Structure 1
């Protein structure tokens, strides 16, 4: 039996017989507790540096006429060294000098001397110190935007590379293998032997479909002697509808897919049909939609000629963007900041998701590391300032219906909010024993208006609607000082000014909507049509095609191999890591484009490689030279992600429903037996399983999955109704599928269902000892055996 550690009990200790495997499981799996790492550099760039630039750099930077107090805050070294009074910041120390001076403590100089920082800025500084005061690496010299900047490695066009000569010409199966083996030769390492067939089929099933094979499928493949048996299997799995369900979930992390907002306030009501975007992505992967069209449809399906109605849900990439609560009673300046935050999030997901660039770092100042200016940022933010979240009926002649729906829903929201505030004012007057009669006519008028708008909304309601975006200029209207409105004007468009220090109340020079300068040939041309979304999408897959292809190929590599060639998959800039295999990345990206941006071609190329087919066996000598396996001398051992683990548990227990599409299910309900990709993803109230098992926070772009091991996860395996229900189902199924009714046959049936193999003699003996009743009248503990295997490393990990 596969246990985490320990030895089977002896006959002298029968009262421990049932407890020892589970206790061993708990004790051992609690030992390597690993917390999710977050270096906070992104937080520093977005929240801390802008405060320093605006309030501190005039006296405490290299550009200051005289550096006061010997303190420079514009470089990591300056921070660490500190000034005349010592370090400005100490990690996790709330008594750090920086925090004391900005708090205007009595025993230190008050900074800034002209007035205290806003409370929000002080809170951000305090949070940053609590995070450990992370700082970026030493700032590299930033080239000006121009020919020099365009020579950076990730901005270069991609081109196919000749396969290098290698020590063993028989080992490569695909061209990628030659680049892998060349690096291994350089490091004086050798690839691991090929994985055995039983290991390989389980691996490729999970990587391509997110589900395990059956025991019978494993045995059939192991006995298949055809030379192309593996390639046939790969083609079969890529053609399966299960492929799209698994690979769409990877992309949904990038797109920060969610079905609500982080607040349930009226002005940020959740989208009504979010699942249509999820279903569209699944269909796009299954249909092998070329990646360049995949990009265009998600940004501008409504502006792309001859787009089929079925492709409009692609606009959910932007149409499901996070929306922040904007209280109408707040001032125009406050609301303008919330709106700017929404634009910022959309710029961030587009540029990090498709281009692997942290453009949002240029919101408050020119990017400190990459050749991206504040003008670049506001050129893209201007596209978002002309893009409105909307709903669209899924029929060809839906434009008029869309306008009516948008008008009714806008008026309904406004009337509902005004009614709420009128009732609130009447309630306040009543508490203060004032006359409430003046409020009654207005309340009756608003109640009637709300009811009429609700009736109109119900008449317009249809299930054939998708959450999309449309072109409409956006302005914050503060004409009424008591009620701030957001005006959307279809057909009217605007360019944004540069917001000085990111503050919408301090407009600078207006910037035309356009693409990034460094990714344009010469001076970028202003966008000419509507919001500019279509031109932006075109530029991403034409002007920046080399970078876009590299970024997606790198993501796909990481999803297959468990480790990316560029280990910062959403940062291909100066602070991002360099590729371990640059020639391989370029060649694969160039061939990906040449193959028509076919996502299925790319996946097939990766999983049919000799590198992918290696065993994951440990080699002491290789591990000393390359402990992280960055040169891929063996196949990585990966823990199943939460979707694959939950789906596999449902499948082996005979509960899995393959019904797809439509409204999402509650993942915390034991009655939900559909695949996990069809479970609700919430920003406001995440499902327990999402919180426990590392789903990226859908409030923002998900760069990659982090893998954590925590005590709470282990308790979930022991106590959750889902796991216990599944174990019970495995135990019941084994009673009907075992050949004969002996205990040995039933134990073997459980092993075959869960671990896809027969138990060894020792494992069988241990299993039978475990299920044997401890007292007269006790039922055999078949459920405990099933639960132990479901929580074992052999089930949870992929070799």
Structure 2
């Protein structure tokens, strides 16, 4: 059997030990993340499941056990302690909820598995519980937002501190140096001396681009003795395309970035990688952070979105994809609870990432410690209720919308011209209508030849024949305005006044449609502008209104009813990219409209549609229809050459009481019209003229219907009026809109009724007047239209994005329970009350250079743009503080506020609060530039200090360890281990295999034989095609074992501070992983390309490449000895030791396994 690694045992043990760092003693206080887990997960279970019988509210808690304090649980009840931290088998509470032999709690029924898992994990974590007053000692104070806000530092407005005076002025390079130095001097400490230039350039490279410098880059830096040497390096790396890859990975940790949904089958998140690429591009472009935040919250609503400088696509909308990167359940049993869990995750990511607050701890009750109420939590829910999920054609979205507006403008320009031409051509014909109606009746009653009758009355035989055909059709359709005359024409006695009066009375007595007892959700014939929600322009920019002159692609008509109508211009749209899995896999991006959100009340929902399409009822915002449940949310409409709209019913009775909106998407290239949506026990009656009920007769006055001549004249008068309204391009208010649309359609769509064309196709009237005919005008319009369309975009990639919907506020859920029938009050959408109060009060900070597109109050929709405006308001102290603290954390190894995601009471206080505010205000005043903030800190003396080693003498080290053992005062640089991605990228960099290609679909993760499970994807190549780690696929159920070992976070929620563990798996991976050994071989092969180099020189080069420093004489001697030992192991002749790839590969492998390789000094 082939050996993976042939390193001697003593070398392996030495390497394992070299990676071992003495573990830090466990802190007495629980970590903020552990306390957050308790507040979000554990306390709600205890309150909802245990307090009824086991709390201080009971005079005699059952069994003597209380579960409302840690001390009470540790003390236990009659049979022993309820909890033994870290020991689930000895904790009675765990035995009880698992229905063990001693107890079965709660007695009403066993807890759901997920709640048992929460309690088990909590005990395993050591039962973290925040320090608080025991409830048995008396009631705690009521929630007092103002008091909490006043008592905690993070709610205080930004305040520009005075720059502190220091003794050692010569040490100060940047203002930040003063804040650090003054505390060091107060503590009797001196800052560490500067790091040597080799250490410094290595640190800068890893911090800025996540790759080591080449020996040549190090040599160039060493040669540069100018005061700006470091500044040049920093500026160059800030402009490197790799900067965005390095700092983009930091941001993706906050957004719990992944490319699959997790749960059972780990379905792909379509286009997730587009968000990753957006982040990298934005960071490289130094998009101001306030704009970056706005793009995340409401990039789809920005009035002037940021465009990609090269391809001109909409960058801003891509930011909203972060909302949908969380784990989803594909077939939830409780669809409403699933929604609240998804929203909880979205609020968690939003509040931690941008505000540094644990808002989701207020899901079930007011926050136990912070100035965050339960209403605050549900106020944020409303923004999510008012917004939906979609895939957007982001590459062509702006171009398509521009083209749609151009086409609309073109129509608006040509429509009155064509309408005027038609009116002019038909005016004379409309004035002769009475003659033709009477002549047609004569022809029908007499049976005489129509041509002869036409000749005798000096009428056109062609037109009279056309009228006879038209009346034959009208006789079949009671809704046709000519239906009444068709009946008269075929009734021999209609000329008699009594018979005519009888016919008129009969038609006038036709019953009116009964008032619908159900609820109209949408009526596209009279839709308010703020209820038009379209993903793309397939349905145009608005519904077609009744009476609109439709120019079409060659045949003119007038819209008989209002509808959202698919425009065939967009039939050839192509989607380039991934689609949703399962039943929603049909192409929806750019081709879908949705209704407002409504509450399902009756069960049956009815759609008045014509054509073929898909209808998706998005109940409780569910959008992953892949499992055995909820299949009834999909409905398909017919097609099959339908000639008229019809009601289609979808049964949703299983979701009564739930929120829903409906999404309509055409099938393939088929036509789809959506007229209305209603809900009720039965479908509404069809509206006129679809109901085939005569209406025209009801418009006639007694005088107009006294005889046939008067009746024919009444028809003529109304057609003449319609012709004039066509000329004026507006509907005659004296006529019913639907009836006038019918009259207009006869004028427009049936030219043979009104004029006789010449051989050249132009009407006789137009030819006589020397005017351009309507046909010629329409041909010119079609040519102009095709010219626009020909240049239009058709193919686009898709990405996740928000889709703004109707305004919806969320109810406060009592105890966070979505299944309870009783809910709390509706909570209006807003930012946290404590923040909004300061914004309203107008507390000021120095003027900032705001870069976002100005946001104005939104009367409709979700209100996310207004939320973004509040978030980025310079008076809001959180975003700027949180972001500069994150930057400090990544550059110095620990934030000024160590709990980077939690500025609240359960987090850690800032070590240098004045510095934090100084940096935050500087950040705002500097245009929210992340690059400039990083540059300023890197050029400080604080950043450039040494971390230890020979640069610090023993006495200085001893004093520092004694007075600042955790380096909270930053008396030296922090020794930091590289992240898993950087370690892997550095290995590829050394081997020469690193592919610097940017962007594009992720490379599938390499799967080992042990990575099994449902939804297992195809395995990617071992080396990931040499791509940087940020471009490797991240599938929730199949995460890279190497990345997990080196603490790449599980993408569940925001992680601004990664764990830094020290486990044997890390050393074992570097020793045994096939990727590492393969890259070691490639590194060796690359180093041996140049022949006739002494082994010592080659060893020097390897050390320079791996550690950015030359090897010492002892290291060269040890390496030579190692080469000889390995040569003996492989049986290599002495004269081949300098060229044998195997032994050099082993040496390269050893260097990759050294502690120095994976740490920044």
| Interval containing the TM-score (normalised by the shorter chain) | 0.7 to 0.9
- In the alignment, which of 1098, 1101, 1109 is matched to residue 746 of structure 1? 1098
Is 1:515–1:524's contact at 8 Å kept on the other side of the alignment? Answer: no
The aligned counterpart of 1:500 is: 814
Once the two structures are superposed, what CA deviation does each residue of 1:429-456 show, in whole Å capped at 9, x if it has no partner?
xxxxxxxxxxxxxxxxxxxxxxx96899
The alignment partner of 1:520 has SS state of: helix
Q: CA deviation at 1:305?
A: 1.0
- In the alignment, which of 877, 894, 901 is matched to residue 570 of structure 1? 901
- In the alignment, which of 924, 935, 947 is matched to residue 593 of structure 1? 924
> In the superposition, relative to structure 1, how do residues 683 and 107 fare at CA in structure 2: closer, same or farther (>3 Å)?
closer
1:26 aligns with 2:16: yes
What is the alpha-carbon distance in structure 2 between the residues aligned to residue 200 and residue 750 of structure 1? 19
Once the two structures are superposed, what CA deviation does each residue of 1:499-549 show, in whole Å capped at 9, x if it has no partner?
112111222222111111111117989984412222222222227621111
- In the alignment, which of 876, 881, 896 is matched to residue 550 of structure 1? 881
Q: Which runs of 5+ in 2 are unaligned?
A: 1-5, 134-139, 307-313, 402-535, 539-588, 595-612, 618-622, 633-665, 671-792, 842-856, 950-956, 1007-1020
Q: How does 1:173-572 map to 2 (within 5 A)?
A: 173-263=173-263, 265=265, 269-308=267-306, 309-327=314-332, 330=333, 334-394=334-394, 395-396=397-398, 397=400, 399-401=536-538, 402=589, 404-405=591-592, 462-472=795-805, 492-506=806-820, 507-521=823-837, 528-542=859-873, 545-572=876-903
> In the superposition, relative to structure 1, how do residues 366 and 417 fare at CA in structure 2: closer, same or farther (>3 Å)?
closer
The alignment partner of 1:648 has SS state of: helix
Once the two structures are superposed, what CA deviation does each residue of 1:40-81 show, in whole Å capped at 9, x if it has no partner?
333322222112222433454455567666654333444344
Q: CA deviation at 1:94?
A: 2.8
What is the alpha-carbon distance in structure 2 between the residues aligned to residue 93 and residue 237 of structure 1? 51
Q: CA deviation at 1:101?
A: 4.8
Select between 519-528 and 787-796 the one with higher mean Cα deviation: 519-528
What is the alpha-carbon distance in structure 2 between the residues aligned to residue 417 and residue 573 of structure 1? 40
Select between 643-652 and 742-751 the one with higher mean Cα deviation: 742-751
The aligned counterpart of 2:995 is: 657
Paired residues, number: 726
Is 1:390–1:406's contact at 8 Å kept on the other side of the alignment? Answer: no
The aligned counterpart of 1:430 is: none
Select between 25-34 and 285-294 the one with higher mean Cα deviation: 25-34
> In the superposition, relative to structure 1, how do residues 380 and 528 fare at CA in structure 2: closer, same or farther (>3 Å)?
farther
> In the superposition, relative to structure 1, how do residues 31 and 523 fare at CA in structure 2: closer, same or farther (>3 Å)?
closer
What is the alpha-carbon distance in structure 2 between the residues aligned to residue 771 and residue 566 of structure 1? 48
The aligned counterpart of 1:643 is: 981
What is the alpha-carbon distance in structure 2 between the residues aligned to residue 171 and residue 62 of structure 1? 58
Q: CA deviation at 1:577?
A: 0.5
> In the superposition, relative to structure 1, how do residues 103 and 649 fare at CA in structure 2: closer, same or farther (>3 Å)?
closer
Is 1:103–1:122's contact at 8 Å kept on the other side of the alignment? Answer: yes
Q: CA deviation at 1:100?
A: 4.6
The aligned counterpart of 2:1076 is: 723
Q: How does 1:731-770 map to 2 (within 5 A)?
A: 731-737=1084-1090, 740-770=1092-1122
The aligned counterpart of 1:634 is: 972
Once the two structures are superposed, what CA deviation does each residue of 1:440-482 show, in whole Å capped at 9, x if it has no partner?
xxxxxxxxxxxx96899xxx9955222111123xxxxxxxxxx
The aligned counterpart of 1:96 is: 91
Is 1:553–1:589's contact at 8 Å kept on the other side of the alignment? Answer: yes
> In the superposition, relative to structure 1, how do residues 103 and 797 fare at CA in structure 2: closer, same or farther (>3 Å)?
closer
The alignment partner of 2:591 has SS state of: helix
1:685 aligns with 2:1038: yes
Is 1:33–1:710's contact at 8 Å kept on the other side of the alignment? Answer: no
Select between 122-131 and 236-245 the one with higher mean Cα deviation: 122-131
Is 2:835–2:876's contact at 8 Å kept on the other side of the alignment? Answer: no
What is the alpha-carbon distance in structure 1 between the residues aligned to residue 977 and residue 802 of structure 2? 37
Q: CA RMSD in A?
A: 3.3
> In the superposition, relative to structure 1, how do residues 124 and 359 fare at CA in structure 2: closer, same or farther (>3 Å)?
same
The alignment partner of 1:134 has SS state of: coil
The aligned counterpart of 1:479 is: none
What is the alpha-carbon distance in structure 1 between the residues aligned to residue 1025 and residue 106 of structure 2? 56
What is the alpha-carbon distance in structure 2 between the residues aligned to residue 751 and residue 760 of structure 1? 9
1:610 aligns with 2:941: yes
> In the superposition, relative to structure 1, how do residues 129 and 220 fare at CA in structure 2: closer, same or farther (>3 Å)?
same
Once the two structures are superposed, what CA deviation does each residue of 1:176-220 show, in whole Å capped at 9, x if it has no partner?
111101111122111111111111111111111111111111122
Q: How does 1:694-733 map to 2 (within 5 A)?
A: 694-733=1047-1086
The aligned counterpart of 2:547 is: none
Select between 138-147 and 391-400 the one with higher mean Cα deviation: 138-147
TM-score w.r.t. length of structure 1? 0.84
> In the superposition, relative to structure 1, how do residues 416 and 700 fare at CA in structure 2: closer, same or farther (>3 Å)?
closer
> In the superposition, relative to structure 1, how do residues 692 and 404 fare at CA in structure 2: closer, same or farther (>3 Å)?
same
Is 2:253–2:1051's contact at 8 Å kept on the other side of the alignment? Answer: yes
What is the alpha-carbon distance in structure 1 between the residues aligned to residue 371 and residue 1036 of structure 2? 33
The aligned counterpart of 2:454 is: none
> In the superposition, relative to structure 1, how do residues 258 and 228 fare at CA in structure 2: closer, same or farther (>3 Å)?
same
The alignment partner of 2:800 has SS state of: strand
Is 1:666–1:672's contact at 8 Å kept on the other side of the alignment? Answer: no
Is 2:209–2:237's contact at 8 Å kept on the other side of the alignment? Answer: yes
> In the superposition, relative to structure 1, how do residues 127 and 151 fare at CA in structure 2: closer, same or farther (>3 Å)?
closer
> In the superposition, relative to structure 1, how do residues 320 and 406 fare at CA in structure 2: closer, same or farther (>3 Å)?
farther
> In the superposition, relative to structure 1, how do residues 377 and 742 fare at CA in structure 2: closer, same or farther (>3 Å)?
same
Q: CA deviation at 1:387?
A: 2.1
TM-score w.r.t. length of structure 2? 0.59
Q: CA deviation at 1:280?
A: 1.0
Q: CA deviation at 1:733?
A: 1.8
The alignment partner of 1:521 has SS state of: helix
Q: Which runs of 5+ in 1 are unaligned?
A: 1-15, 423-451, 473-491
What is the alpha-carbon distance in structure 2 between the residues aligned to residue 26 and residue 236 of structure 1? 37
Larger Cα-atom Rg: 2
Once the two structures are superposed, what CA deviation does each residue of 1:200-249 show, in whole Å capped at 9, x if it has no partner?
11111111111111111112211211111111221111121111111111
The alignment partner of 2:862 has SS state of: coil
The alignment partner of 1:303 has SS state of: coil
The alignment partner of 1:47 has SS state of: helix
What is the alpha-carbon distance in structure 2 between the residues aligned to residue 724 and residue 142 of structure 1? 62
Is 1:411–1:453's contact at 8 Å kept on the other side of the alignment? Answer: no
What is the alpha-carbon distance in structure 1 between the residues aligned to residue 948 and residue 625 of structure 2? 66
What is the alpha-carbon distance in structure 2 between the residues aligned to residue 105 and residue 280 of structure 1? 52
Select between 304-313 and 334-343 the one with higher mean Cα deviation: 304-313
Is 1:319–1:467's contact at 8 Å kept on the other side of the alignment? Answer: yes
> In the superposition, relative to structure 1, how do residues 410 and 594 fare at CA in structure 2: closer, same or farther (>3 Å)?
farther
